Structure 1
Amino acid sequence: MKLNLIVSLFTAIVLSFSVNAQKVTVAGAEFPTKMKISDKVVEYNGAGLRQKYFFNLYVAALYVPERTSNAQTIIDQNEESAMRLKILSNKVTRDKFVETVKDGFATSTEGKASESEIAEFMKLFNVEFKEGDDIILIYKPSSGIEVYMNGKHLGGAKGLAFKKALWGIWLGKKPADASVKKAMLGKV
């Protein structure tokens, strides 16, 4: 009886470690260590906390085919990849998010995104934002960027050049937040 109890406890402990090892927690936001995009598996590369005026706004995680700390490689590659943003504060409203991403496109040093492409892309976020929201930006070479919010598909934008401009907001030479870029590249 005692032996069965000990074996059961040991098994439960081992299983809890293996389940926990498949997730990474950053500033209270959990991310899986792998994501499946179409028939490809991408790996967690890193995640960074975006703060402003001492407020934790969101955590952005990066998923790539193969882990790397080279931002330019990630921006340029025409392979499945993803960014996942977990909203941590009610201070991140739809309007502020749209404004920030538009500003990011303006300063992104990568790729190309026309004003009309950016406007169409920003229309996808015509929903209210709240603490706990989960936004996933997925890049597929065959279809471009696909946007999901809380599991719901919102739409997308075509082309590698657009993906480069979008990824450049966080990973380019003039990132929105240098510490987030560094963390997403696993350089913490």
Structure 2
Amino acid sequence: MKSKFLLSILTVLFLSVNSSAQEVTVAGATFPTKFKISNQVVEYNGAGLRQKYFFDLYVAALYVPARTNNAQTIIDQNKESAIRLKILSNKVTREKFVETVKDGFATSSEGKATPSEIEAFMKLFNVEFSEGDEVILLYKPESGVEVYFNGKHLGGTKGLEFKKALYGIWLGKTPADEAVKKAMLGKV
């Protein structure tokens, strides 16, 4: 009887430790340690909190085929990867998000995104943002960058050069936020 009781306690402890190892929480935003893109499993590389004027805006998590702290490798590789953004504040509106990403393309030191590609990409975000929303920017070599908003597919933009420019917003030589870049690269 005691051995069955001890075994059940150990099983519960193992399952709770094992399930918590499947997720990572950063600034209250929880992310899985792995997920599938097409038939490829990508791994959590790191995540950083974007703040402005003392407000927590969002957490950006990076997923790659194999963990690395080399931003240029991530930007340049033509393999499945993703950036997941969890919105933490109602201050992140659709309009501010679109404006910020457009500004990010203007300062991105990577890849090439034409004005028409950027405009078409930004039109995908025709939804209202609120606290708790999730934006996933998936990259697939065969189809390019695909956008998901709270699990709903909004569309995408083809091309590795576009992906490089987009990832350059967070990971390039002139990132939107150096602390977020370091955290996404696991350097904190």
Question: Structure 1 residue 9: deviation in Å?
Answer: 1.6
After superposition, residues 124-139 of structure 1 pair within 5 angstroms as 124-139=124-139
Equivalenced residues, count: 188
Residue 30 of structure 1 pairs with residue 30 of structure 2: yes
Could you tell me which residue of structure 1 aligns to residue 151 of structure 2?
151
Which residue number in structure 1 is paired with residue 89 of structure 2? 89
Look up the match of 1:15.
15
Q: Secondary structure of the residue that 1:66 maps to in structure 2?
A: coil
Report the TM-score, using the length of structure 1 for normalisation.
Answer: 0.98
The Cα of 1:2 is off from its aligned counterpart by 3.6
Q: Secondary structure at the match of 2:111?
A: coil
Give how far 1:10 is off. Answer: 1.4
Computed over aligned residues only, the root mean square deviation of the Cα atoms, in angstroms, reads 0.7
Determine if the alignment matches structure 1 residue 75 to structure 2 residue 54.
no
In 2, the alpha carbon distance for the partners of 1:73 and 1:6 equals: 48
What SS does the corresponding residue of 1:130 show, helix, strand or coil? coil
- Structure 2 residue runs of 5 or longer lacking an equivalent are none
Q: C-alpha offsets along residues 123-161 of structure 1, whole Å, 9 cap, x if unaligned?
A: 010000000001100000000001001110000000000
Q: Percent identity?
A: 77
Distance across 1 between alignment mates of 2:4 and 2:128: 52
Deviation at 1:5, TM superposition (A): 2.4
TM-score for both structures, normalised by structure 2: 0.98
- Which stretches in structure 1 are left out of the alignment for 5+ residues? none
1:118 is aligned to 118
Deviation (angstroms), 1:65: 0.7
SS at match of 1:67: coil
Instruction: State the AA in 2 paired with 1:130.
Output: S
Read off the aligned partner of 1:87 and give its amino acid letter: I
Structure-2 separation of matches of 1:5 and 1:33: 31
State the alpha-carbon separation in 2 of the partners of residues 6 and 149 from structure 1: 45
Rounded to whole Å, the distance in 2 between the matches of 1:97 and 1:56 is 14
Q: Distance in 1 between matches of 2:129 and 2:6?
A: 47
SS at structure 2 position matched to 1:45: strand
